[in-house]
Amino acid sequence: FQPLSPPSREEARRFVRERLPHLPPERLEALVNQAGRNFGELSRLVLLEAAKHDPRTPLQDDPALKPLLLALSAFSPEADPTFPAELLEGALGKPLERLSQAERALLDWVGEGLVRPALRSLLPQEAPRELHRLALAYFPKENLFRKLHHAYKAGETRILLDLLQEDPARLALLPGLWQEAQAWPREDLEALAAVVVRYRAVLGQYAHPEAEEALRVLSEAQNPSLRTWARIKAAEAKADAALYKEAEELLPPKEDLKLLDDTAQAEGLLVMAAVERWKGDYEKAAHFVEEAQGLPVAPFLQDRVYLWRGLVAKDLGRYPEALEALSRVGHDPLLLGRARYQMGDLLMRLGSLEAKLRMEEGLKALEEAGAPKDEVARVRARYATLLRRLGLYEEAGRAIEKALAEAEDPFTRARVESEAGILEAARGRPFAALNLLVPAEAYFRSTEERPKEARYRHLRTLFRLGATYLLLEAGQPYRAPFLGGLHAPTAQRLLEDLLEQIPWEATDRYTALRLDTASLLALLLSPAEGKALLKPLLDVENPYLRAQARLSYAETLVREGNLGEALAQVVALPPLEDPGLLAQARAVEVLALLGLGEKEAAWQKLSEVRRSPLPEPFRFQLGRALGRFCPELQRRLPPTPLALPEALGFHLANPD
């Protein structure tokens, strides 16, 4: 055989022109120059040029280009096409300087030591597993996507599952894996099913087809621990949808948790805590959360543990611990929304104005994360309560109306009706209040659902009925300031009966209910009887409730004529943010100053209030309340046909 002589430039041009007739002259010259009279190189460059215009060109049939094309296919996934040149050199077994012109045309150099394919469409769809194993060994663990991608493509299922079990959220990097894994061995499929369920649970996507299929796989598993865990996750799905009764029915017996690893045990304990809290058994819920907290759990479960630690601490009045735990919830949108709402609720109980911002954040996050309608209705109703306490009655009315429309479950609806009723009592509308409170009271009195929670809701609704009768019989809306010397026999009967029924339970809500009841009842009793009622509550732990108790007590001291001690109670209070407490404090101060003959100082206090940011409803009510006791203030006002309480109310409410 006589070896072929290298082609002349004219022969090379003719060769290119015959195969690529539409190629522009300047591109033709460039190819001839690149090949440099090397026929093999020229034919590969022509093949490459043809492939750019027609992806069906069989580039891989060229034995010189095939190894590079396969390596590029393996190392350049679409989501991350750039990779170190060093890895490519390892796969090809030679430095890149030794690549031919045609091979180099397949590469793009990007930055220091990094390459990527010049044209993705030229690459084969699949590459040999050995190349993926090479990449799997090359990339460090920190490069999660690469580790997952190459483990999957190399068929290294065990490595892949270990990575996914560490953090199920990594499944987001491998869309479609669940469908593609259906042919895996049963044991591997069950392990992946557990990852899928956890991943979808973190997103709150319990009804996602993948989650439902994966739960079905687990519930049919041979391994009893997998079946137990499947029941826990099914119960968790119900609890997250606020279907606690169904959740309770799905939960396995507590002793079955011993079959599970620490993280799965903690998941089960948190669902059990959710059910107990729903039933109103806070001590039992706290016990389950403490047990879960004591277990070494995987990082992905930490948010849920922090949320529940915060919830039970809040329920039991451990406020700093609750705020600290709730503030640490930070990733899962649904859990974040719940944590922010609970922070807002707790800050409201502490009388902090920051409550509004936190509760708004929580409500927005819950709506965006697609929280159940009943949960959103409960949160919105609580937000309306906060707005009421801030004197923003119009906003509160809109929020409560929306919550009533959202509430689907009868228990939730009755709860929202009860909150709506006390808002109407604050606005001075007794019959609108009764219209809402009567069905709520009847429901909570007769329901067999969640007996502990229903008991509290019933007692709270009875208190609100008492407050409504105080408005109906004595003209006192449920709005600070509250000054005594009132006569309201039905309100008194309701409140006295209620005080007998409130259990001595060391939870924040029962302490608040006892104080609220005692404070209203004291307005209808003699100063001595009122003092006796309030004195045991002066040192409650919650600083907001403590301030409320001391101000109610100071009001009885003023009526008793013990003016110096009444002022001392007000002066000893920490700085107040809550407008209701501020209005009550100003009323006690003005009454005490007038009683001490300090008329100018008293009027000065009222002038300050008139110009202050205290919300208008509280300024108006301050005038009405003081007008009953201070006839000497009449001469300070311009002539009017109104009675002094209303005249003073409008004077304070309208500074302009």
* Total count of domains within the chain: 3
The pair of structure tokens assigned to 7 is 């082609």
Residue 204, pLDDT score:
67
Q: Does 411 reside within a domain?
A: no
Q: Sheet harboring 107-109: ordered strands across?
A: 83-84, 114-117, 107-109
Main-chain phi, psi angles of 12, to 5 degrees: -65, -45
Q: Does 296 reside within a domain?
A: yes
Main-chain phi, psi angles of 622, to 5 degrees: -60, -45
Q: Which residue carries 């920051």 as its tokens?
A: 354
**Predicted confidence band of residue 278 (pLDDT cuts 50, 70, 90):** confident
Q: Does 393 reside within a domain?
A: no
Q: Does 300 reside within a domain?
A: yes
pLDDT digits (tens, 9 = 90+) for 373-389: 888 999 999 999 999 99
Last residue of a domain, one of 279, 309, 339: 309
Distance CA 87, CA 480 (A): 74
User: Does the structure show a pLDDT above 90 at 427?
Assistant: yes
Q: Does 150 reside within a domain?
A: no
Question: What Cα–Cα distance (Å) separates residue 577 from each residue in 246, 340, 359, 392?
Answer: 42, 20, 17, 15
Residue 528, number of CB atoms within 10 A of its CB = 11
User: Does the structure show a pLDDT above 90 at 627?
Assistant: yes
Residue 1, pLDDT score:
47
Q: Does 503 reside within a domain?
A: yes
Distance CA 486, CA 488 (A): 7
Regarding beta strands 114-117 and 83-84, do their DSSP bridges make them parallel or antiparallel, or are they unpaired? antiparallel
Give the SS3 label for residue 114.
strand
CATH number at residue 572: 1.25.40
Average pLDDT in the chain: 89
pLDDT digits (tens, 9 = 90+) for 30-63: 777 776 767 666 666 666 666 565 555 555 555 6
CB distance 146 to 80 below 8 Å: yes
Give the SS3 label for residue 21.
coil
Residues 244-261, mean pLDDT to the nearest whole number? 90
Residue 61, pLDDT score:
56
pLDDT digits (tens, 9 = 90+) for 284-343: 999 999 999 899 988 778 888 899 999 888 888 888 999 999 999 887 778 889 999 999
Last residue of a domain, one of 309, 330, 363: 309
Instruction: Specify the amino acid at residue 514.
Output: R
Q: Which residue carries 């560490």 as its tokens?
A: 166
- Residue in 343, 307, 304 with CA at minimum distance from that of residue 325: 307
Angle, to 10 degrees, between the axis of helix 302-315 and the axis of helix 282-293?
A: 150
Category of 261 on φ-ψ map: left (φ > 0), alpha (ψ -120 to 50) or beta: beta
Residue 115, number of CB atoms within 10 A of its CB = 24
Query: How many whole angstroms from its chain centre is CA 523?
Result: 40
Residue partners of 14: CB distance under 8 A and separation at least 6: none
Last residue of a domain, one of 256, 277, 309: 309
DSSP state of 637: S
Q: Find residue 109's DSSP bridge partners.
A: 115
Instruction: Specify the amino acid at residue 313.
Output: A
Half-sphere exposure of 385 (CA within 13 A, CB side): 24
Question: What Cα–Cα distance (Å) separates residue 16 from each residue in 58, 59, 106, 123, 456?
Answer: 17, 16, 19, 23, 89
Distance CA 650, CA 541 (A): 37
Residue 539, number of CB atoms within 10 A of its CB = 9
> Which of 207-211, 351-355, 430-434, 504-508 has the highest average model confidence (pLDDT)?
430-434
Distance CA 162, CA 182 (A): 18
pLDDT digits (tens, 9 = 90+) for 448-495: 888 888 999 999 999 999 999 999 999 999 999 999 999 999 999 999
The pair of structure tokens assigned to 242 is 């606020």
Range of the domain at 291: 238-309
Q: Find residue 108's DSSP bridge partners.
A: 116
Cα pseudo-dihedral 459, 464, 466, 469, rounded to 10:
-150
User: Does the structure show a pLDDT above 90 at 424?
Assistant: yes
Distance CA 393, CA 579 (A): 13
Instruction: Specify the amino acid at residue 414.
Output: A
CB distance 433 to 425 below 8 Å: yes
**What does R_g of the chain's alpha carbons equal in angstroms?**
37
Q: Does 516 reside within a domain?
A: yes
Residue partners of 404: CB distance under 8 A and separation at least 6: 377, 413, 416, 417, 420
pLDDT digits (tens, 9 = 90+) for 584-598: 999 999 999 999 999
Distance CA 480, CA 614 (A): 11
Main-chain phi, psi angles of 83, to 5 degrees: -155, 165
The pair of structure tokens assigned to 597 is 């003959």
pTM: 0.70
Residue partners of 142: CB distance under 8 A and separation at least 6: none
Residue 364, number of CB atoms within 10 A of its CB = 13
Residue partners of 291: CB distance under 8 A and separation at least 6: 269
Residue 39, pLDDT score:
62
Q: Dihedral sign for Cα 297, 299, 304, 308, please.
A: positive
- Residue in 574, 532, 575, 571 with CA at minimum distance from that of residue 553: 532
pLDDT digits (tens, 9 = 90+) for 114-173: 998 877 767 788 889 999 999 999 999 889 899 999 999 999 999 999 999 988 888 888
Q: Does 564 reside within a domain?
A: yes
DSSP state of 574: P
Q: How far apart are the first and last CA of the chain?
A: 112
Residue 351, pLDDT score:
87
